[in-house]
Amino acid sequence: MSKHYYIGLMSGTSLDAIDAALVSFNADRIELVHSLSATLPATLKTQILELCGGTADEIELLGKLDRELGELFAQTALDLCRSAGISPLEIRAIGSHGQTVRHRPPDAQRSNDLAFTLQIGDPNTIAEISGITTVADFRRRDIAAGGQGAPLVPAFHVAAFSQAGIERLIVNIGGMANISLLKADGEVIGFDTGPGNVLMDSWIMHCQGHAFDRDGAWAQSGKLNQDLLETLLQDPYYAMHGPKSTGREQFNLAQLLKALESLADIRPPDVQATLLELTARSICDAIDECSQKDSEVFICGGGSANQALYSRIQALLADHKVATTEALGIHPDWVEAAAFAWLAKQNIMSLAGNVPAVTGAKGPRVLGAVYPG
């Protein structure tokens, strides 16, 4: 059978870059053919953060950033084709996640409010500039069906990483962290565990002006503050059972600064060390609660490159085999982008892209809208 090529574009909560993955699908075989990352301009990142946090004249800013991101996504897709030596005419579709600027999933505490999620990065602009059919707006159909709209990657994790008779966990550490439990009998469980890199990135930016803590070096220079950790772990999100999802609306710098107000002075590197422990502990507590002790754990996302975080997760999961998804054939940096290439394929083939047991949707749904190239 001939290969079908798709491109996945992912811009996540961390706002560090646009990840682009060229993926081929041939029967049941999924192959990452090529990849690249395009850094988000600093001014654009600042404006997106302003929009996420709430700002004056939001509609004007949203419309401007929607088009600007659409142009950047399109150019990234074309750059990927050029770098891979493949014609855009050979690409069946682009799957664009878009940039989440607001995520309000179903919440029992807001029972009278309609849930919604909003991603920008105009798919009309992507299709127009690239000439490639674009599939986008994946999350809102799941929301309309009563689901969380996230996480959507567990369905791809099943397709790419599951193996009959073996229990595996795929841990994605982006701005937020989520897990997919692929049980030996085929059952799938998944949910957002809480903050991944978002609080660590926000704190080091606030204190030092750096986008991230490379290898967790700053965190390692500090010491765990137990009072701060216990304060942060009191957030009711951690006690909730899935389906559940979260975002910057719940875990952000303002929340952290508020928590610090009630505590005695803490050295900045000690705060960073505590935030690293919060991410590791919330991920591993969730894994311990829902999985067998000897299950295999594979980590992906930007957080997999934080060696201090990776080592702490290994220590907390001493009874598990822990590795990155590279051991399963896809480098951890490109799993999420590859997932949206797969979701585009599912849409084009009129196949479901969600896992109702994960998102809480009423049933399987074809996700996304199509914008012809």
Residue list, annotated binding site for ATP: 12-19
- Give the N- to C-terminal CA distance of the chain in Å, as an integer: 24
CA angle, corner 250, sides to 210 and 230, nearest 5? 85
Place of tokens 């493949």: 86
Of 151, 130, 61, 75, the closest CA to residue 360 belongs to 151
Eight-class DSSP state of 174:
S
Place of tokens 């705060």: 271
Q: Is the peptide bond before 151 cis (omega within 30 degrees of 0)?
A: yes
Sign of CA dihedral 311, 314, 318, 322: negative
Of 302, 277, 7, the closest CA to residue 133 belongs to 7
- How many C-beta atoms lie closer than 10 Å to residue 292's C-beta? 13
CA dist 155 and 28 (Å) reads: 14
Q: Are 330 and 341 in contact (CB under 8 A)?
A: no
Place of tokens 């999933």: 105
Q: What is the CA radius of gyration of the chain?
A: 20
SS3 call for 252? coil
Q: Is the peptide bond before 243 cis (omega within 30 degrees of 0)?
A: yes
Question: Which residues lie closer than 8 Å to 229 by C-beta, 6 or more apart?
Answer: 274, 277, 278, 281
What the block records as the tokens of 244 is: 């559940």
Binding-site residues sit at: 12-19
